[in-house]
Structure 1
């Protein structure tokens, strides 16, 4: 398998410098944050996209994933979401996703990761939220199919889709092969699931994996590899046993004050354990 590191830990850095640092740390890939301050699709120019390609080529590193989950350019990680009660506000997330699909296609990326609906609004039922998420996806799926880029829904604690079963239930309502899973091992661990055991039921639907450690109390805190309680070896071993040769991206965005050291330490952990 190949390992990437996400530039969402490098929000205090220029994208070019983040790519260079991640390549220097020994990673095969870099997850591009499709948001400010890096490459924000609604405002991205041809020149900016070409420059990203040049920098990637210069440092001999691939793109592991296009991260279209965070949206701090408008408000934050989770808002606007695909299930906002205000239709105009919800449309901002939809329009952003459409732009992210176009940018990903221009860069030759096979997929982008997206928010799993969002936080269920106060006063709204889960049923309403699921219906609204499906309706939102139906607005972006035609573009995903037209440009050949998959939409990887990323289950997350406290959002509409948290568990493996909830993701599979979503697939039953979506008629498109372009909707797949961004399997975040730490997120599943937070909600009481065993990431290693979940690989099999989600295998055929997963295009990309996120990895971070999580504290023993399963609090949703992205923690340096080896500093938490997850059985990372069991999870990566399951992928290895299945012959997975795609990307596992280390996502440690809380470490934005020390991203270079954090990336290097995570790679050192993977190398010491024999994974990289």
Structure 2
């Protein structure tokens, strides 16, 4: 039997072996779609009803899963950055959870996570541009191999998105601890202490300038509830810590009014993108694992 005839026989055997698999594949697609919808509903309800536990479990998965693959695949470059981020962030969280809280701690917390926020944004954008640079073939002009430039772009994009997500989650945890420790508001709706008119309601330190004056280092910002803040503190509270209420009286904050330039609006949109990626990275592997388990129990291949 010739080589061509042998290939023809093998092709016919493959068709016989996989005959009827169209219905099986359709059933697998249906299972995947149904599992995805149900999982999305469960996660949304969990987040709405028990947001704290949802965030903690998601953060734990985001923390452990990349570390597992890093050690398994010997990605020492990522492991080194992960280690530095973990050490510094652990120290920041330690400072944020102390009682009584030091007066300079809130500003230190916001500065660190705002730095992570900006770095992750910049690295992610550079990674995206590197990928587009390769896809349009501009790497040829600089005699860079497509594989090398694409690898750099994907790695930078992953670094930016991963640390952006982790930074936002840890910032929210620190914000919750600081709010409860400093004692701005409680479940009864009344602040547990009074602040003077020239004291920032986030960090508890004296403001540098009046509301109407232009500051050299930073300005003083006043919300519609008339409580005043260091501009850096309230922007860190709202943007980095994802808080949309006054930290003193819990009144709703108008973010559109506070963010009066396109750069800050971009940060808010970027934060929404990170929320979507958190779901994709932390929960999508579990959903796919559940789908594989269902297919295996039903004998689907």
Higher helix share: 2
Establish whether TM, by shorter chain, passes 0.5: no
Q: Which has the higher contact order (CA 8 A, sep 6+)?
A: 1
Higher strand share: 1
